Structure 1
Amino acid sequence: MTASTILRALRGRLLWFLDDPQIAGEAAHRFIADGLLVVENGLVKAAGEARDLLRTLPSEADIVDHRPHLIMPGFIDAHIHMPQTQVVASYGAQLMEWLNRYTFVEEQKLGEQGHAEKLSRFFLAELLASGTTTAAVYCSVHPQSAEAFFAESQRRNTRMIAGKVMMDRNAPEALTDTAESGYRDSKALIARWHGRGRQLYAVTPRFAITSTPEQLAAAGRLAAEHPDCHVQTHIDENRAEIAFARELHPEAADYADIYRRHGLLGPRSLMGHCIHMTHNEWQAFAETGAVAVFCPTSNLFLGSGLFDWAQARRHGVKVAVATDIGGGTSYSMLRTMAEAYKVLQLQGQSLPAFAALHAITRGNAVALGLDRWIGSFEAGREADVVVLDAGATRAMAHRMETVRDLAEELFVLVTLGDERNVAATYVMGERVGL
């Protein structure tokens, strides 16, 4: 081992996914009761039985024993708002009123010197404390908000997707740009940050209500000019929102058609919510490869409706899952999947524990087009890792006394778990302070 080589091995119960368990069944996951994850210079070198790999390590390797805890790839959040950390738990409004009464008020503060930096530090620390190592992030309309976020993510070496919101109408004057300035500022941020270290850019028109056709066209130009960037926006979250969007864009056949006309539906398009989708809209997603992003805690909190995962599957539409802070009520992807389970139960659909954990690791990585980098423990992947204590709370430890097998243990973890179950988080093989 050379002086520049950093070799670390994490020992514990390894669990990761090779495929979707709803398709591949038992063959979808790999579980090793006494496993070793070997990390070299931030990348997975090997994952296997501890008894086999321990004897291959040099004496100077750093071996960290996390037994009996569970070691998994870091969680991935597909839709979250950095400016809304102080909007969480704002009482008693549905989407449009909630935006105007709470969100737009808070987002204006990001124009103040130092505020974006403060929120970015808190935001990334909270994600990592919850075991989330990658997220698709909305910043505010201010270019400096994205600058602050990317700078903090770069400092922490996290793989993040983010973008400056584009918004040129139906918002306070202090929160609006123009079609031209939104295009120009976004293009400059792409040049500065996209592909720099682990940072990735998302073209981010907030939604069809706050962007004119001219701005949506400008966003579409950005997406065409930078096809390796993501696009992120909102669609079909709330019935009043849908009616307003249709009123503002009468030329479109439906909400999805607004985005499709402007080149914003494609395989890297992350479309938040997708609750009240028509058959034609599902078809448009299937044809373009657009991703439906399920935000269960937000959808319940704002009274927006229930996401139909079975319908997405029937149409062959990729699904990602997200917290949607600050309409969402927890940074924890475990808490998020507990609410996802309930949303699906209300519709006669099931969500087994293996499917839930796949969704927030490899599943989200595939949906976001990042599976060549993150989401599993295959050799060469970036070693973003969460270590989970399934008995971290008194109630969970009590329940675990009667658990009979791994599937039941994991279901308890998904149903009752949250950030308290995170024993450690690693970014590129380096443990972060929680």
Structure 2
Amino acid sequence: MTSSKYVHQGSFALRAKILHFTGQPDPLKKSGYQYFADGVLVVENGLIKQVQSSEYMAERGFDLTQCEHFPEHLIMPGFIDSHIHYPQTNVIASYGEQLMDWLNQYTFPAELKFSDKTFALEAAEQFIQLMLENGTTTAMVYTTVFAQSTDAFFETAEKYGLRMIAGKVLMDRNAPAGLLDTVESARQDSQNLIDKWHGQDRLSYALTPRFAPTSTAEQLSMVGELYKANPSVYMQTHLSENTQEMELIKQLFPQAKDYLDVYDQNNLLGERSVFGHGIHLSDDEVQRLAHTKSQIAFCPTSNMFLGSGLLDLARLEKAGVTVSVATDIGGGTSFSLLKTLAEAYKILQLQGQSLHPLKALYMATLGNAKALLLDDKIGNFEIGKEADFTLITLSPSKIQKSRQLQASTLEETLFALMMLGDEHNIERTYSMGNMVYNRLACASDD
């Protein structure tokens, strides 16, 4: 239950262009989405009360003058990021390595600093501010091996009234000594954090073994036991991101038939399990993911930056695997899901596939909400849902303004936004009806 102190009390209305999704969009049939070229969004006590065209509202006696009016802006549901690391904010764009070397050279040293709760709180504040300025209102987040870093993240998310999923990273081998836990300390820390945070306000917990190479079989078995004992929590880890990583799996788990089987043997598959990457999967692994309703988080900017490979989205979708989209900061190179979708488009183009802008923006909103089993609460403007949304300017730069002037259809407008957009397009971000980010206010503060 959401605490009233995080809810915008009373009602207000915004008038602008409005786009949200009601299901998987079909561009040819023009189904699965609602678009109002001149729409009104009404929020009451932190929830969606109404969304309709301004003409419809005026005909029924609604006073349009009470709306804050943004005729050249677009309102969309808040973006949702299904795989991101809050300790990695300041290692973003670190030069010159693939996954395993990148972890050792940049990521692990950065994460050692999070043993300090004060440092972790400052980092969590920076991280959440960056998400909000990019229009992201919900994310599935990796913290560090230190329980206090997880507390710091949840405390900060709670302060802003955000809907977030996060978990303490579990590692008992193949990492610096200062970042290792044990089977028992990981068990106790994880259960304590679940008891403290899971279901508190808008927060949820995710069991978080970093990936199989940094956990012993005993630790992974323990995670499976916790998963069974706490069936409403999530599980997040990495899978088949890099070929060097996959060779290491063969050495560390010789009894497993493939990478996914390492997790499968420990009862870590299921509809609440989110596996980052999934680039280099066998047919058997794809079928097993589909059968267990386990899902893949597609991380385009990270996959390109670290040279990991190209995700075959069509193959996964044909098999029935749920695929969400994610930034994967700090292997990923932008907090912006708009920039992330632009890179996803390019990755699919390289494989003879296409990514329609309606489908892309669906993935970043209602699609990701469905993947994370949160679509009863967020993801679109269905009446009664939580009022998480973003106000987007379509022309924050000369090139975007010039391109948008040439757009003659909704699809062209959205495609230009997706390919050219970034954090500068996000003018405001709202959580439960509260304005938690305002670009104009931030600019005046500077």
- Shorter-chain TM-score bucket reads over 0.9
Note closer, same or farther for the CA distance 1:141–1:11 as it changes in structure 2 (3 Å cut). same
One-letter identity of the residue aligned with 1:266:
G
Measured after TM superposition, the shift of residue 384 of structure 1 is 0.4
Alignment of 1:74-223 (within 5 A): 74-223=78-227
Instruction: Say which of 388, 396, 405 aligns to 1:401.
Output: 405
Q: TM-score, normalised by structure 1?
A: 0.97
Q: What is the match of residue 307 of structure 1?
A: 311
Q: How many residues align?
A: 431
Cα-to-partner distance string for 1:168-192 (whole Å, 9 max, x where unaligned): 0000111010111111101100100
Partner SS state of residue 276, structure 1: coil
Cα-to-partner distance string for 1:5-42 (whole Å, 9 max, x where unaligned): 51111111110001112598411110011111111111
Partner SS state of residue 349, structure 1: coil
- Matches of 2:97 and 2:313, distance apart in 1: 25
Measured after TM superposition, the shift of residue 55 of structure 1 is 7.0
- Matches of 1:57 and 1:120, distance apart in 2: 45
Q: TM-score, normalised by structure 2?
A: 0.94
Measured after TM superposition, the shift of residue 346 of structure 1 is 0.3
One-letter identity of the residue aligned with 1:386:
T
Q: What is the match of residue 246 of structure 2?
A: 242
One-letter identity of the residue aligned with 1:84:
Q
- Matches of 1:189 and 1:373, distance apart in 2: 23
* More divergent stretch after superposition (125-134 vs 399-408): 399-408
Matched, 1:53 2:64: no
Contact 1:73 1:384 in 2 (8 A): yes
Q: What is the match of residue 4 of structure 2?
A: none
Contact 2:117 2:148 in 1 (8 A): no
Query: Which consecutive residues of structure 2, in runs of 5 or more, have no partner in the other structure?
Result: 1-7, 439-446
* More divergent stretch after superposition (243-252 vs 374-383): 243-252
* More divergent stretch after superposition (53-62 vs 248-257): 53-62
Contact 2:275 2:297 in 1 (8 A): yes
Identity of aligned residues (%): 48
- Matches of 1:145 and 1:49, distance apart in 2: 45
Alignment of 1:224-263 (within 5 A): 224-263=228-267
Alignment of 1:310-321 (within 5 A): 310-321=314-325
Instruction: Say which of 2, 7, 10 aligns to 2:11.
Output: 7
Instruction: Say which of 13, 17, 20 aligns to 1:16.
Output: 20
- Matches of 2:310 and 2:161, distance apart in 1: 35
Measured after TM superposition, the shift of residue 370 of structure 1 is 0.7
Note closer, same or farther for the CA distance 1:60–1:386 as it changes in structure 2 (3 Å cut). closer
Alignment of 1:378-397 (within 5 A): 378-397=382-401
Measured after TM superposition, the shift of residue 112 of structure 1 is 2.1
Note closer, same or farther for the CA distance 1:313–1:376 as it changes in structure 2 (3 Å cut). same
Matched, 1:413 2:417: yes
- Matches of 1:146 and 1:154, distance apart in 2: 12
Matched, 1:338 2:342: yes
Note closer, same or farther for the CA distance 1:431–1:56 as it changes in structure 2 (3 Å cut). farther
Task: Give the superposed CA RMSD.
Answer: 1.6
